[in-house]
Chain A
Amino acid sequence: MSDAETLQSGRRGHGRAAKRAARMAHAAATVPFITRQIPIYEVLNEEGLSLIEQNAETVLEEVGIDFKGDPEALAIWREAGADVREERVHIPRGLCRRIIREHAPATYTQHARNPARSVVMGGKHTVFAPAYGPPFVHDLDRGRRYGTIEDFRNFVKLTYATPWLHHSGGTVCEPVDLPVNKRHLDMVYAHMRYSDKPFMGSVTAPERAADTVAMAEILFGADWIDPATGKPRTVVTSLINANSPLTWDATMLGALKVYARANQANLLTPFILAGAMAPVTVAGSTTLTLAEAMAGVAFTQLVAPSAPVILGSFASSMSMKSGAPTFGTPEPAMVMYAMAALARRLNVPFRAGGAFTASKIPDAQAAYESALTMLPACLAGTNFILHTAGWLEGGLAMGYEKFVMDADQAGMLQTMLNGIDLSENGQAMDAIREVGPGKHFLGCGHTQANFESAFHGSAIADNNSFEQWDAEGRLDQAQRANAQWKRMLQDYEPPPIDPATDDALLDFMARRKAATPDSNV
């Protein structure tokens, strides 16, 4: 509202223009991350958890775990006291746990370039991030196609625009239109330029991890080094997947070492499609996940003691009829509950979950399967929930409509995790006294003071009468979501960035791109 308008129409309230502006501002209000206020749901007792822990130690000692193509890693393990036979590392019982408990931080802050959006990983906190890795994208208008850098930027912008995702994620889709050896530059830049939320770095080669760190140093400038520690601030969290079963490979280990030595966070995740990469039972999958994850997390601490780290679990079941991965099934939910408890006993942040589905389109299967993964992920006390929005087709496709639907659900879950307000206002005794029997609460003082933030309102659910729904074209959820993501992209405004910083980033990218020819290997 301009001053002139204020003078003309303003006194107690401010009429239509002011209300519309206020409502828009309210819609954008958000918290940088969740601090859970409800209890954690446990599925195993002390005896059960100890059993899994003992079995995992047995796996590491007796079966061993491969650290492939990285002689330095083997030397580090030998130095730490492991029995290294060729590339197989047999880790004495209790060694990983001791290293982790001694060095790994229980929580860490990942700084965002906008300090108001920095997140705390671990403890009572939960951070939602969009899906990671899909080569395809899907929307109602154009169907399924390979992702491009334009799609990548779109999902960074959509993530920035939604209040329910706290983290910009990483490979929000694979920009298949760019050369493999250079696309990481444009991907990292998109997160830096089109969002001010924290993000993930490139892990597909050690030099690409180094590029990520170099760009982060440019972006954070004078804030890069924390004067209190003399070390770089943690501004990137990156995804290091195990090549399950029981294998860490040179590519992932190379990126891991770059990040750990630069005090950037590693997210160590065994990737388990049970039946193929792990036994078909919950206890067996959990044991294997714990063994792999402990070896990975301990390795980060051997490389760089106290470097920030997250223990991850990606668990899916499998159709024993076709071999296809299945999602939203009860067994992986059980793995999540158990792994979250086991990570707590190691006192490190835990990652799991996501809006998983095998469905190709944003349909009922997609919604059910996603809900039945997100809910247990939240109840388990998961700290970092990658893949919160957009996931379709077992991770092969990033869906525009699915993204909007998932983000909407994430808002609901955030409200649930906030627990029950027991303040005087929350108790609402004044409202009950004021209204009494046989009337309604819509007009009472307490409702007037609280209605706006009282319930989590979905942006895409249709709650209208049949007739109104009919009159508006009988749109289903996916069609309403289609309109929503288009509106979000239309309304998108980039966060401000210092032009000198932007120039320096672009200059760095141009030099890196000029240094080597394009390559797709």
Chain B
Amino acid sequence: MADDDLDLNSLNDDDLVSQMHDDLYDGLKEEIEQAVNILLARGWTPYDVLTQALVEGMRIVGEDFRDGILFVPEVLLSANAMKAGMAILRPLLAETGAPKVGKMIIGTVKGDIHDIGKNLVAMMMEGAGFEVINLGINNAVDNFLKAIDEHQPDIIGMSALLTTTMPYMKVVIDTLKEKGIRSDFIVLVGGAPLNEAFANAIGADAYCRDAAVAVETAKRLMADRQGSVQARAQA
């Protein structure tokens, strides 16, 4: 049944796009890179490649993850393939002035060395087309400020696994307020001991209970702020 010699070039546009949906689903990174380049060579705009092929493909992945058909390691492969396609498209999207998906910095806060959950969020965000700068663990407020300066993100994500470290998220948000830049960013927080009330109390925009919700929330809040890619794709 497997036909490894399938030539993507031989497919017409419609078949190629549906093949890309399958290849994203199956986490085939090189095939996605190849297909993105083929569509661009056929004169597709980067924006159309993004929305019709990649974002739509990942929407199917997200649905089946939610329904328990796909497992975490599979979604990581899909997100990886998506990220590879985005790496090709991102500079082109910027040149053409297309609406951007969004850029995020994300880190575990000071005193907390827990990495894996936050990395899963980062990967799922990349899988949805976001550009993600992962600051790693044990981030003091200065690290966040430096990254904000350097990367000009739309979204700041903070993670903590411990009740003893989660209050530090408020330190970061209070610092942003002091500097008068809090409202320039969407602030998302997550981690096992958090809940919505905590997120509200420290002045975050949203609490995200898992990686899938983080993606949904980020898309929704980006759409609220600007006519984002997802908002237009769904319109």
Contacts and interface: CB of A to CB of B under 8 A. Distances in A.
Contact of B1 (A6, A19, A440, A467): A6
B72 A13 contact: no
B209 A467 contact: yes
B118 to A, nearest CB: 11
Interface residues of B, number: 36
Given A8-B18, A10-B1, A465-B210, A20 B69 contact: yes
Nearest to B24: A15
A442 interface: yes
A11 B6 contact: yes
A474 to B, nearest CB: 15
Given A10-B2, A16-B22, A443-B77, A467 B196 contact: yes
Would you call the interface of chain B mostly helix, strand, loop, or mixed? helix
B3 interface: yes
Given A443-B76, A467-B196, A438 B18 contact: no
Contacts of A11: 2-4, 6
A468 interface: yes
B23 interface: yes
Contacts of B115: 438, 440
Nearest to B25: A15
A216 B3 CA distance: 49
A448 interface: yes
B18 A9 contact: yes
Interface in A1-57: 6, 8-16, 19-20, 23
Contacts of A447: 73
Contacts of A442: 72-73, 76, 116, 120
B28 interface: yes
Interface in A153-168: none
Contacts of A15: 21-23, 25-26
A455 B69 CA distance: 15
10 contacts: A8-B15, A10-B1, A13-B22, A13-B23, A15-B22, A19-B64, A20-B64, A448-B73, A466-B195, A467-B196
Given A8-B18, A11-B3, 9 more contacts: A8-B15, A9-B22, A10-B1, A13-B28, A15-B23, A440-B115, A448-B77, A465-B210, A466-B209
Interface of A: 6, 8-16, 19-20, 23, 438, 440, 442-443, 447-448, 451-452, 465-468
